[in-house]
Amino acid sequence: LPGLYIVATPIGNLGDITLRAIETLRGVSAVACEDTRVTGKLLHHLGLKKKLVRYDDHAGEGDRERLLALMEAEPVALVSDAGTPLISDPGYRLVRTARERGIAVTSLPGPNAAVVAMTLSGLPNDRFLFAGFLPNKAKAREDMLAELGKVPATLIFYDTAPRLDASLAAIASVLPGREVAVGRELTKKFEECRSGSPQELSEYYAAHPPKGEIVLLIAPPGEEPLGEVDVDALLREALATAKA
């Protein structure tokens, strides 16, 4: 049937593709993707050959209109380089406009690095907040950590190996005493998930420079191990609040 099929693809391990995803990719007339080489490889692995249409972060109005016109007449899949489309990946405007125009939109669930890291980390999962990538600039990064640090939920960020060091340093300074977890190369051969204080993880990764893809998680407030928090400062703050 015509429409837009949002299809999640593996985040590393090629076995992580659903039967429904394969059937859908087989049935569509075209696959919109970020990088035709990356998606071409996946389709080749699945034994499929499809028309690929580039739809990445730089896609403009014209690219979108062409895709929308196509999906009004035929089934079109949207995939990203890895994981679930739209999640820190292109597709938001496409889905929004398709819905506005009454085009059928279906989403096929599958791998997502944030969820894999959440389940591995051992951090509380009753509430979690996915916040995408931290800002590049130091001040903006610290401001965001200070703001989100108040939210009573585990925080989940996407990160990159070269930036991990700066992220951990910012957490150590803005949210000291919080337990942090780093999920790296998830679903791949060298998958690991390490947890500890931001200082401990900083030291570890200074000695073992990280490679590959990274998800960073921060425990909710109120569970800081004693001894790492400034008890005097907390008492002063509590007294000031009580007096006010």
Subset of 8-67 contacting ligand SAM (CB under 6 A): 11-12
Q: Interaction with ligand SAM in 94-113: which residues (CB under 6 A)?
A: 112-113
x/- map, 117-156, ligand SAM, by CB under 6 A: ----------------------------------------
| 75 binds ligand SAM, rule: CB under 6 A | no
Using the minimum distance from each CB to ligand SAM, give the nearer residue, 29 or 36. Answer: 36
Burial class (CB in 10 A: 0-12, 13-18, 19+), 219: buried
CB of 78 to ligand SAM, least distance (A): 11
- Residue closer to ligand SAM (CB basis): 18 or 29: 18
- 211 vs 236 by CB, closer to ligand SAM: 211
Beta bridge partners of 32: 53, 78
Q: Which is nearer to ligand SAM, 12 or 75 (CB)?
A: 12
Q: Smallest distance, Å, CB 198 to ligand SAM?
A: 17
Identity of the residue, 67 or 82, whose beta carbon is nearer to ligand SAM in the bound complex: 82
Pairing of strands 128-133, 154-160: parallel
Contact between 48 and 27 (Cβ < 8 Å): no
Q: Residues near 237 by Cβ (< 8 Å), separated by ≥ 6?
A: none
- Residues counted in the chain: 244
| Backbone CA torsion sign across 119, 121, 123, 128 | negative
Residue from the set 142, 159, 179, 224 that interacts with ligand SAM by CB under 6 A: 159
Helix H or strand E encompassing 52 = strand 51-54
DSSP state of 244: -
Range 161-220, binding ligand SAM (CB under 6 A): 183-188, 213-215
- Whole-angstrom Cα distance, residue 157 to residue 164? 11
Secondary structure (3-state) at 84: coil
Looking at the Cβ atoms of 145 and 215, the one nearer to ligand SAM is 215
Cα 28 to Cα 24: distance, rounded to the nearest angstrom? 6
The only residue of 89, 143, 165, 200 in contact with ligand SAM, by rule CB under 6 A: 89
Q: Which residues bind ligand SAM (CB under 6 A)?
A: 11-12, 80, 82-84, 87-89, 112-114, 158-160, 183-188, 213-215
